[in-house]
Every structure is written in structure tokens, then in C-alpha cells.
Amino acid sequence: MDLILEKWDEILETLRKEHELSDVSFKTWLQPLKVHAVQNDTVTVLVPTEQMGLNYISKKYMLPLKVAISEVTGQDYEIELILPEQTKTKEVKSLKPQINENIEKANLNPKYTFETFVVGSNNSFANAASLAVAESPGEVYNPLFLYGGVGLGKTHLMHSIAHFILEKNPQTKVLYVTSEYFTNELIEAIRNGNNTAMAKFREKYRNIDVLLIDDVQFIIGKESTQEEFFHTFNDLHGAKKQIILSSDKPPKDMETLEARLRSRFEWGLIADIQSPDYETRMAILRKKEELDGYNIDDEVIKYIATNIKSNIRELEGALNKLIAYANLEKREINVELAEKALQDIISPDAPKEITAELIIQTVADHFNISTTDISSQKRNQEIVYPRQIAMYLCRKMTDTPLKSIGNLLGKRDHTTIIHGADKIASDILTNESTKNVIEIIKKKISPN
Ligand SMILES: Nc1ncnc2c1ncn2[C@@H]1O[C@H](COP(=O)(O)OP(=O)(O)OP(=O)(O)O)[C@@H](O)[C@H]1O
């Protein structure tokens, strides 16, 4: 509800612009529309006219409104129009289930749950530890420290724990953030230079039941962040609140981590995730295929699982690329097509190549949005910023021609790519958060 309400004016404005509505049409039909309720992905819109007006709006503006909502919020909703006299009967339904609001508040990806997580020998210990923590937060292993290489499922497991806890007890205050987000918020509070900003920051992070901090290795070397994090940790741990951390290495190998933090990280349980074996890679591809509603030949799945070994993000990226390629070429998916579509990813002799596709996938994952969003025509800031970062990194880290980058990013022309990349290049010089984000994503793309 909050998201739609907050963005309602922007939604109507987007619709007005995209359909070049005259002032009079806008004022007559759209401006008076009010959000009455949002429930289970249906937005109930109050039409304060009479039946004729409702019929007309339904015929003429229902679809454009749906599209505008999807563009602005990044989510698809059904729309139901109602007249003022119907509001009484609808009132009971006006609360969106609390659990969905909590998932939004906690910053969770709805797809990352235990149900969609494939358990193999590489991650069974981490999975069991995560489930134990999810069942008894703050009681058994505190903190839970998950570590493993890039793209192996740490974030997915963390979100699974949070979903599980919220499902069981929707009142629990759960917050997932990346350590980079934590750092940026802290920098912002310090920059504001007043006690209220710091107090707000502390209130936010210390007044929760379950805190999940991803990629905690990025706070190393940032003194004030380590200091603040140390106090947050102590407060929460002392109050028996659950802390879950992830990193690319175990605490003992985090050389520049302050000793007092390292010892705290080791208080609870440390669980690692290794690269998946062949069977697990097959199972992950099968799961993804099932979730996305495809039915791909076994030989093709075997081909991908045999050739992409180390990183699950790349494994999924290869499958996505193959599907996109087949759709574009209007061809059936078979091993021959897979060899062609994936030749720049699967090349037995060449060292691992950094492709524009890998960059786009990594940026999307980092911002918790889909690659479809990045390549869409959406212009809201939550999508534009990651898109520009993808433009910048594709230019910096690959030789991909501007035209191809543009095609991958929603058929944009080369001037848009140059503009987006330049914008980020100048942002890096003045904005510490952008500098941090770029540093982190670069490491995810190329860890060494
Ligand atoms: N065991 C698994 N089952 C199903 N999907 C998985 C599994 N492990 C990872 N994935 C998928 O692989 C992708 C990358 O995983 P995730 O983002 O959790 O990795 P990560 O270890 O947090 O990476 P990073 O170090 O870059 O933060 C996600 O789309 C995730 O859903």
C-alpha cells in the first residue's frame, strides 16, 4: 500500500506524459482517481464519479494505468475500479497482508527462500545452520556467519532465513542491508553533523530483532564504520537479538578486521558455502527452469552444468542468455544453439572473459532488481542508477562496442550509453557511495 500511495502522483504523471494527455483529459479522468486499497497485488482505485465515468476510465485508461504502475514501482498489479458507494463493502479488505509489507520493509527479494534454494554437498551445512537460526532466532547460533566465494548463494540463504522468520512471526523486526548500505547510511548521518541524524541511525539499527548484514568484508578498513558496527553488534547481541553476517572469507582470514570484531564474529557459528558439484549445478538449473516455466532438453542442461563450474550467478546467467538468444533468433533450444549462444562464456582455452552480460547480471543482483528491469524503458531512479552503473562498467571493463551495450540495455543508442557512463564517472569523484558501489561490484565481477 505504502509504495503505491507514495508513488501515486508519479504514476499518474507517467501515464499523462506517455499518452500525451491534454490538461483537460488529465484533470477530468485521472487526477481525481484515489488509491482505496492494495491487497494481494490488486490496487483498488476509487473513481469519484458515477457509473458512466467508471466505465469510460475502465475502457480507456485501465491498461495504461497498469503499465504506468509497473513502470514506476517495478511490480505488476491488477486494477479494480470502484465507486464511492462501494467503498464500505471494500473497507475490510483494505489492509495488504502485513507479511508483504514486512518483506518490503526488510528489503527482501521474494524469490530468495528456502523453497527455491537447492541443497547440495557444497552448501548443506550452511543450509542446515541457516534453518536452525530461522527456527530459533537469537537462541542457538549468534551470530551466524556465512562465507563463500562470489555468487554461491550467501545472499539467497540470508533472505531465506528472514522470510522464514517473518512467515512464522510477522511482527518480528527484520532488516537486511548490505554492509555498503550500512556504511553509506552512517556516512550520511555523520555528514549531517547533528545528534538527531546519528540518533536516528542508531535507533534504526539497534531497535530490531534480526539484523542481516551482507558482504561484511566491505566494512574492513573503514574505521568509523567498524566502530559503529561494533556498538551495534554489542547492543543487539547483548539483547539476544539475532545477527547474521556474510562475507567472502572467514573471520580469521579478514586480515585488517579489528581483533575485537573478529572475535565477536567467531562467537556463534561459522558456515561456508563451496562451489557446487555437477549434480548440484544440474539441480539448480532444473529448479530455475521450473521456476521460470521452461522445459529444456536434458542434454542442454548437462552442457551448461559441465562447462560452468564455479559460480551460480554465471550458471543462471548462461541459461538466461541461451533463452534470450533462442527467443531473438526464433530457434529451438538445443546443444548446438547453446554452443553458439554461450561461446563467449564457455571457451575451454581462453581465460574467463568478463562479458557485458555478466556485468549487467551482477549489477542487477547487487541492487536486487531483475535484468529485465535494467533493460526496460523504466525511468525511475531505482532502475536508472543501476542501469547507468552497468553502462559505466561495461565501458570500463569490456571492449564491447557501444552499440552492443546499447542493445543489451534496452536498445538504447550510443549517446545514451556515453551519457550514462560519464554521469557515473563524474559521480565517483564527488560521491563516496557511488565510489563504494563501483568498487564492490567490480570485485564481484572479477574477484582477483
Ligand atoms: N543453492 C542454490 N539454489 C538455487 N539458487 C541459488 C543457489 N545458490 C545461489 N543461487 C542463485 O545464484 C544467484 C547468486 O546467489 P547470491 O546472490 O545469493 O550469491 P552471493 O554468494 O551472495 O554472491 P555475492 O558474493 O556476489 O554477494 C542468485 O540468483 C541465487 O538465487
pLDDT tens sequence across 417-433: 999 999 999 999 988 88
- The CA distance from 421 to 401, in Å, is 13
- The CA distance from 405 to 19, in Å, is 28
Detail the residues annotated as belonging to a binding site: 151, 153-155
Question: Rounded to the nearest whole angstrom, what is the distance from the C-alpha of residue 194 to the centroid of ligand 1?
Answer: 39
Residue of 111, 124, 152, 286 to test ligand 1 pocket, by largest number of atoms within 8 Å of CB: 152
Position 385 scores a pLDDT of 95
Question: Rounded to the nearest whole angstrom, what is the distance from the C-alpha of residue 254 to the centroid of ligand 1?
Answer: 22
Looking at residue 19, what DSSP letter applies? T
Query: Which residue in 198, 259, 257, 184 sits closest to 232, CA to CA?
Result: 198
Q: Range with the lowest mean pLDDT among 40-44, 209-213, 387-391?
A: 40-44
Band of residue 94 on the pLDDT scale cut at 50, 70, 90: very low
- The CA distance from 301 to 6, in Å, is 43
Question: Rounded to the nearest whole angstrom, what is the distance from the C-alpha of residue 325 to the centroid of ligand 1?
Answer: 23
Residues framing ligand 1 (Cβ under 6 A): 112, 116-118, 123, 148, 150-156, 215, 248, 284, 287, 312-313, 316, 365, 444
Position 90 scores a pLDDT of 45
- The CA distance from 51 to 38, in Å, is 22
Contacts of 9 by beta carbon, 8 Å cutoff, 6+ apart: none
User: DSSP string spanning 317-330?
Assistant: HHHHHHHHHHHHHT
SS3 content of the chain, % helix, strand, coil (to 5): 60, 10, 30
Residue of 291, 312, 372 to test ligand 1 pocket, by largest number of atoms within 8 Å of CB: 312
Predicted TM-score (pTM) of the model is 0.66
Position 89 scores a pLDDT of 52
Detail the residues annotated as belonging to a binding site for ATP: 151, 153-155
11-61: pLDDT as tens digits: 999 888 888 888 777 888 888 898 888 887 888 888 877 776 777 788 888
Residue that wins the pLDDT comparison between 344 and 113: 113
Position 87 scores a pLDDT of 67
214-269: pLDDT as tens digits: 999 888 777 888 888 999 999 999 999 999 999 999 999 988 788 898 999 999 99
For the domain spanning 104-272, the CATH number is: 3.40.50.300
- The amino acid that residue 328 corresponds to is L
Handedness of CA 40, 43, 49, 51 (dihedral sign): negative
Question: Rounded to the nearest whole angstrom, what is the distance from the C-alpha of residue 117 to the centroid of ligand 1?
Answer: 9
Question: Rounded to the nearest whole angstrom, what is the distance from the C-alpha of residue 147 to the centroid of ligand 1?
Answer: 12
Residue nearest to atom 7 of ligand 1 (CA): 153
**DSSP bridge pairs for 174:** 210
Considering the chain, what is the average pLDDT of its residues?
A: 87
Torsions phi, psi for 209 (to 5 deg): -95, -35
Residue of 244, 313, 315 to test ligand 1 pocket, by largest number of atoms within 8 Å of CB: 313
How long, in residues, is the chain? 448
**For residues 183-189, average pLDDT:** 87
List strands edge to edge, sheet with 144-148. 174-178, 210-214, 242-247, 144-148, 269-273
- Fold classification of 3-86 (topology level): GMP Synthetase; Chain A, domain 3 (3.30.300)
CATH 1.10.1750.10 fits 356-445, yes or no: yes
The atom of ligand 1 lying closest to the CA of 116 is: 4
Residue nearest to atom 31 of ligand 1 (CA): 156
Position 91 scores a pLDDT of 41
List strands edge to edge, sheet with 78-82. 34-39, 42-46, 78-82
Band of residue 103 on the pLDDT scale cut at 50, 70, 90: low
Residue that wins the pLDDT comparison between 192 and 162: 162
**DSSP bridge pairs for 35:** 45
CATH architecture of 278-346: Orthogonal Bundle (1.10)
Q: Is the pLDDT of residue 92 over 60?
A: no
Q: Is the pLDDT of residue 76 over 60?
A: yes
Question: Rounded to the nearest whole angstrom, what is the distance from the C-alpha of residue 107 to the centroid of ligand 1?
Answer: 16
Q: Is the pLDDT of residue 140 over 50?
A: yes
Q: Is the pLDDT of residue 392 over 90?
A: yes
**For residues 48-77, average pLDDT:** 82
Query: Which residue in 213, 214, 216, 226 sits closest to 186, CA to CA?
Result: 226
Question: Rounded to the nearest whole angstrom, what is the distance from the C-alpha of residue 113 to the centroid of ligand 1?
Answer: 11
Position 147 scores a pLDDT of 96
**For residues 125-144, average pLDDT:** 94
The atom of ligand 1 lying closest to the CA of 156 is: 18
The atom of ligand 1 lying closest to the CA of 276 is: 1
Query: Which residue in 209, 207, 187 sits closest to 198, CA to CA?
Result: 187
Q: Is the pLDDT of residue 101 over 70?
A: no
Query: Which residue in 37, 40, 29 sits closest to 76, CA to CA?
Result: 40
Position 211 scores a pLDDT of 95
Residue ranges covered by each domain of the chain: 3-86, 104-272, 278-346, 356-445
